[in-house]
Every structure is written in C-alpha cells, then in structure tokens.
Structure 1
Amino acid sequence: MTDLDRLYEQDYPAWAAQTAALLRQRRFAELDLDHLIEDLDDMGRSQRHELVNRLRVLLAHLLKWQFQYSRLSERWADFEGRSWRNTIIEQRAALSYLMEKNPGLKRVLEDAIGESYVQAVNLAADETGLPATTFPAECPYQSGQIFSRDFYPETTG
C-alpha cells in the first residue's frame, strides 16, 4: 500500500488535496489511480442520483397539482396549493442550480426524466391515495415545462 493509498483511508480531504496537487504538477505516475477512478465514478453517479431524486419530487408534485388539486375541498386546496407550489418552486430552483453546475447532466436529462417519472407516479399515488393508473403511463410534461417557472399543469377532475 502506498502513502497515497493510506492517506485515502485515513484522511480523505488530505488525499483529495494531494491528488489535485499531483494532477496540477502533471506527476501522473504518483497518482492513486484506483481510488481516483472510483471517486470520479461515484461523483458522476451521485450527481445523476440527485437529478433523479429532485425530478421525482418535482414530477410527483406536478402530478398531484394536475390530478388531485381540483378534488380537494376549498380549505385543503388553499393549504395544499401553497405547499405544492412551494415544493415545485424549490425543486425547480435546485434542479436549475444542479444543471448549471453540472452541464454534463444535460446528456442524461431525458433518461433521468423517464426513470424518475415511474418513481413520481408511485409517490403521487401513495401521497394522494389515488390509484397509480390515474396518472399517465409516460411523463406528460416536456422538459421545458418541467423547468419553466410559469408552468403549472391544468387541473383535471
């Protein structure tokens, strides 16, 4: 085990700083390549995981807005409408920031929407008590709508 291997196990921030220094100095032969590759893979998975999770929550709230909002009593509609709108706003802001800081995620956005939509349907069904078959089998929203600050789907009911 090399010194850099041990450093990875004992002090990750110091390992990361040392690895960055070695890269800047182009001292490639001294790199801990196994851990570096593992970390780069994990970073990509982590960013994609965050994208899918945030899309899941956003899409579930758009579905609830579209398919349950008009069915709520006036008192609940006021409360749920504010709550759902706040969550939609928050998730859109977080997603915009995530995409801005990680532009490579644009390549996987459509796949992430498809993956998260299945989860969003299940989440919306669990939270509303509506059967999952209430919701479309495929995502009814275009990516532009999903990210648009002004888009709220027409309510059905």
Structure 2
Amino acid sequence: MSNLYSTDFNLWIDRTTRLLRERRWHEIDLTHLIEEVENLGKSERREITSQLTRLLLHLLKWQYQPQRRSDSWLDSITDARTQIGLAIEDSPSLKGYLVEQLEESYQRARRQAARQTGIEISTFPDVCPYSPELVLAEDWLPEV
C-alpha cells in the first residue's frame, strides 16, 4: 500500500478510508496516514497565518494610505476575516494559534506594506497596534 501512496494518492485515500471504515487496522498504511493527519494541521495553521498576514497588510494600507482606499482593499479585508472565521469555526483551537501568530504575521505585513506603498517601514509601529479582537471585528477599520 505504501507504493500506492506514491503512485496514486487519491486511490490511496479511497483505500485507506475503506480500510478504516471496515476496521481492517492491520492493512492500513499507518506511516503515511500519520503523516497526512499531521499535514492537515499544518495546512490549517499555514492558512490562518497567510490570511492574517493579508488582513494586517490591508489594515495597514487602509490606515496609512487613506487617499488610496478602495473597494478591493475592503474586499480583501472582508474576505480574509471570513476565511479566518470559517477556519476557527471548524477548529476553535485555531483562535489561540491566531493570537500566537499575530505579531509574526504583523511583521510580515509591515514589511509588505512598506514595499507596496513606498512608505518607510519605520512609519509603521514596531509592534502590532491592533488587538486580535479588533483585527477580526467585522465592522472595524483603523483610522489615521
């Protein structure tokens, strides 16, 4: 079955699912199953980090370039909040991960904002000025 994992991943999933349902434990490719379960968690966390960085980037641009505000920025803010909300709804423990990643994501967003706007990076606060609650609040946008 290990060979099936490398040659036809979808077929491996179908077979593994069937074996699990039939409780045929001894036939399961346990090594790859464990790897895939671990990767699911990593993928969810990576998605939270990606969406959080995108959200913070657009919040910074919204705050520091008020003359350039656009519907596309607002759409990006709304979509990132929605995607984060859906992920947390599916896995509430990810909210703690979001809180842990706020500062790291903010630093990425800060660098991206400086590159994209041409604004000196030192203009943006060194530490994230937004609380997790504000970042996720549907009706909140930063002002100048």
| Same fold flag (TM > 0.5) | yes
- The superposition leaves residues 68-124 of structure 1 with CA deviations (integer Å, 9 ceiling, x where unpaired) of 21xx3xxxx3xx332211211111112212222233322311122222111100111
User: Are residues 13 and 90 of structure 1, via their aligned partners in 2, closer, same or farther at CA, if it must alter by over 3 Å?
Assistant: same
CA distance in 1, matches of 2:91, 2:8: 26
1:54 paired to 2:44: no
Question: Which amino acid is the alignment partner of residue 76 of structure 2?
Answer: T
CA distance in 1, matches of 2:63, 2:138: 16
User: Are residues 98 and 9 of structure 1, via their aligned partners in 2, closer, same or farther at CA, if it must alter by over 3 Å?
Assistant: same
Aligned partner (choices 73, 76, 80) of residue 84 of structure 1: 73
The answer for the alignment partner of 1:64 in structure 2 is: 61
CA distance in 2, matches of 1:125, 1:35: 42
The answer for the alignment partner of 1:18 in structure 2 is: 15
- The superposition leaves residues 113-148 of structure 1 with CA deviations (integer Å, 9 ceiling, x where unpaired) of 222111100111111111111111121111111111
SS at match of 1:149: coil
Structure 1: give runs of 5+ residues left out of the alignment: none
Normalised by the length of structure 2, the TM-score is: 0.91
Normalised by the length of structure 1, the TM-score is: 0.84
SS at match of 1:103: coil
The answer for the alignment partner of 1:127 in structure 2 is: 116
Aligned partner (choices 41, 45, 52) of residue 42 of structure 2: 45
- Specify which structure has the bigger relative contact order, considering alpha-carbon pairs within 8 angstroms and separated by 6 or more residues: 1
